[in-house]
Structure 1
């Protein structure tokens, strides 16, 4: 985790370092990324990085477990807390797709972390990231169950089923519509722009309709 020295940096310098670290880890596999490159991109001495983080893994872990989730929560914002449970879920899904469009580097970083890896150094971290996503989704579904909108006798099972629908399932639909692979979409501004707000709303509505028909206490 960052040292106290890191948080005492001027905001502009701190943001530049963080943004260039995100760029480095999103442009290259973890094993190929380097602190030397991050320091060069951020225009600071490499030794300075060690004043802020213990090593490359320490910086990578913080980006994935703290900074990227914080930025995504800020992006989704209060909009996902408005309306009834189903409206909030729909907004949550739509804003998740919008995050991919507007923050491709963070999306690439998160996508890489979700992929299985043979790298022993980060294998456990990648698994923890995926589990953290399930914990977050479980909390959302628990709100639906508590409000009476959702029937979920086993929240753990429901969470994994819904995760498949709005995760790999929805991703496959998006890629099919765009006629491209995920790495192409994340690398292409023009492809991402084709996933406009109208398309995102339609896809999120269809995903929620499917979930509601299976888990809702009443048909929409």
Structure 2
């Protein structure tokens, strides 16, 4: 994880370093990614990076488990007690999740690469940590839905989170792949394909996903 020295960097320098690290890990596999290339583009000595992170894996782990999920949360939003309509907020989250693929393909590529079963042995298991953090956040949202009466009190949020994740995760991803006629890596690499996942299509798919969830969880 980042050292205190990293957070003491000027904002502009720190943000540039993070952006270049994202570019490197999004455009190359973990094994091919190079700290030398990152620091070269940032314009700092290679030794400086070890004042910020222990090694390449440390930097990659931080990006995957903390920085990318943080940016995704900021983009997608989080359901909280201020949301008066739980179902409308969840539908918006689902649509924004698809929009994240369109607008932030590099961030999505980093997560997708870690999920690949052929990923470098050092990074296997990191994707599960990302999933667990997302599931914990979704579970808290479902608990809010139960408190408001939007979801039946008979529903166990610890079980329901897997049901909802199956619909909004692998299930919805497969629908998107079928509609666009390409695999995920092709979509993340092609501006033309991502443009086909336009707001109208995203809203339609989000409504269908929400309908399935409501029928399973609705009060």
Cα distance in 2 between the residues matched to 1:48 and 1:212: 51
Please report the RMSD computed on the Cα atoms of aligned residues, expressed in angstroms. 1.8
Q: Give the TM-score normalised by the residue count of structure 1.
A: 0.91
Cα distance in 2 between the residues matched to 1:8 and 1:192: 37
Cα distance in 2 between the residues matched to 1:124 and 1:140: 25
Q: Give the TM-score normalised by the residue count of structure 2.
A: 0.92
**1:44: Cα distance to partner?**
2.0
Q: Which runs of 5+ in 2 are unaligned?
A: none
Match of 2:218 in 1: 216
**Structure (1/2) with the larger helix percentage:** 1
Are residue 96 (structure 1) and residue 93 (structure 2) matched? Answer: no
Cα distance in 2 between the residues matched to 1:104 and 1:77: 18
Q: Does the 8 Å CA contact 1:141/1:155 hold for their aligned counterparts?
A: yes
Distance 1:83 1:178, change over 3 A: farther
Cα distance in 2 between the residues matched to 1:160 and 1:147: 21
Match of 1:181 in 2: 183
Cα distance in 2 between the residues matched to 1:146 and 1:112: 37
Distance 1:202 1:120, change over 3 A: same
Cα distance in 2 between the residues matched to 1:215 and 1:77: 21
Q: Does the 8 Å CA contact 1:79/1:91 hold for their aligned counterparts?
A: no
**1:32: Cα distance to partner?**
1.9
Distance 1:40 1:78, change over 3 A: same
Query: How many positions carry a matched residue from both structures?
Result: 217
Distance 1:193 1:82, change over 3 A: farther
Q: Which runs of 5+ in 1 are unaligned?
A: none
**1:117: Cα distance to partner?**
4.8
